[in-house]
Amino acid sequence: MDELGLALVVEDDDDVRHLVEDVLRQAGFEVLSAATGREGAEIARREDPAVVTLDLGLPDIDGFEVLRRIRASSDAYVVMLTGRDEEPDTILALQSGADDYLTKPFRPRELRARIAAMMRRPRAGSGEPALARTGARVQAAAPPPQEAPAPQRHPEMLLRHSGLTLDPRTRTASLAGRTLDLTRTEFDLLHALLRAGGAVIPRAELVRIARGDRYREDTYVSEADERAVEVHLGNLRRKLGDDPRQPRWLVTVRGVGYRLAPAA
């Protein structure tokens, strides 16, 4: 098996499928592919790939249903690739469990960079990035430096705020003793906001945190990227039961970004 493990391409367009296969092989993956949604979901269940690229418009079942089936058995990183650029599709893809969303035509280097960034982040249920668990190296970009701990706080210390507890060591969060079922991105965003201690984090910086590119300020951030982060934070608010009109945890700073609400 190639050094980054297994990737799955679910795409009915032959040209696009071959392009994505080439991008993933050059990045260091062993690649499997499927031209239909049912076949792709079955391969994902059987082979447990590390990364899946998933077309939204498939000939049998659509990408949202394939994503639902994949999420029933796998914590693979999933990137949706689609010719649709409508905002509701982006929102639904992210709410359904996709990690990222690119519209066609896309730039192969951007796809490779985004996958490399995802691979640096811990997978669900793991405290280690996927690359650390496989011993692989990212070919698209060098790993970021270790994040400096906040003043007076050990990086492994529990973070608490208004009944919310977050444990960076186990990547778990709970509210009033109830465990929160957070995605990787939701956890990373919540962790960043808690560490900021009430300071405003700009939307562009939150995009980089969600991508795993926190230390690369030169990365391009589009309006679609910022909307995607707003969707992730909306999902996080819903799971916290937070009212944006009277926030207990997440405060929107209009035109700038987000911050933590003052402690109750």
If asked whether residues 130 and 31 sit together in one domain, one would say yes
Q: Domain containing 40 — which CATH number?
A: 3.40.50.2300
d(CA 109, CA 130): 20
Residue 147 falls within a domain, yes or no? no
Range in 25-34, 78-87, 94-103, 213-222 the model is least confident about: 213-222
Q: Would you state the pLDDT for residue 216?
A: 56
Q: Would you state the pLDDT for residue 191?
A: 94
Residue 142 falls within a domain, yes or no? no
If asked whether residues 16 and 130 sit together in one domain, one would say yes
| pLDDT tens digit sequence for 120-156 | 766 554 445 555 444 443 333 334 444 434 433 444 5
Residue 55 falls within a domain, yes or no? yes
Residue 196 falls within a domain, yes or no? yes
If asked whether residues 125 and 165 sit together in one domain, one would say no
Q: What's the domain count of the chain?
A: 2
If asked whether residues 173 and 250 sit together in one domain, one would say yes
d(CA 188, CA 183): 9
If asked whether residues 195 and 254 sit together in one domain, one would say yes
If asked whether residues 117 and 196 sit together in one domain, one would say no
- C-alpha torsion 177→230→90→22, nearest 10: -90
Determine which helix (DSSP H) or strand (DSSP E) holds 165, and give its type and residue range.
strand 164-167
Q: Would you state the pLDDT for residue 30?
A: 94
If asked whether residues 25 and 115 sit together in one domain, one would say yes
Q: Would you state the pLDDT for residue 118?
A: 80
Q: What is the pTM of this model?
A: 0.55
Residue 153 falls within a domain, yes or no? no
Tell me which of 67, 101, 134 is where a domain ends: 134
Residue 139 falls within a domain, yes or no? no
Q: Would you state the pLDDT for residue 225?
A: 79
* DSSP H helical ranges for the chain: 14-27, 37-47, 63-71, 87-95, 108-119, 130-134, 184-196, 203-211, 223-240
| pLDDT tens digit sequence for 35-82 | 999 999 999 999 999 999 999 889 999 888 999 899 888 889 999 888
Residue 56 in 3-state DSSP?
A: coil
If asked whether residues 225 and 173 sit together in one domain, one would say yes
If asked whether residues 184 and 250 sit together in one domain, one would say yes
Q: Domain containing 171 — which CATH number?
A: 1.10.10.10
If asked whether residues 126 and 42 sit together in one domain, one would say yes
Residue 21 falls within a domain, yes or no? yes
Residue 140 falls within a domain, yes or no? no
If asked whether residues 184 and 251 sit together in one domain, one would say yes
Q: State the residue range of the domain holding 254.
A: 159-260
If asked whether residues 10 and 84 sit together in one domain, one would say yes
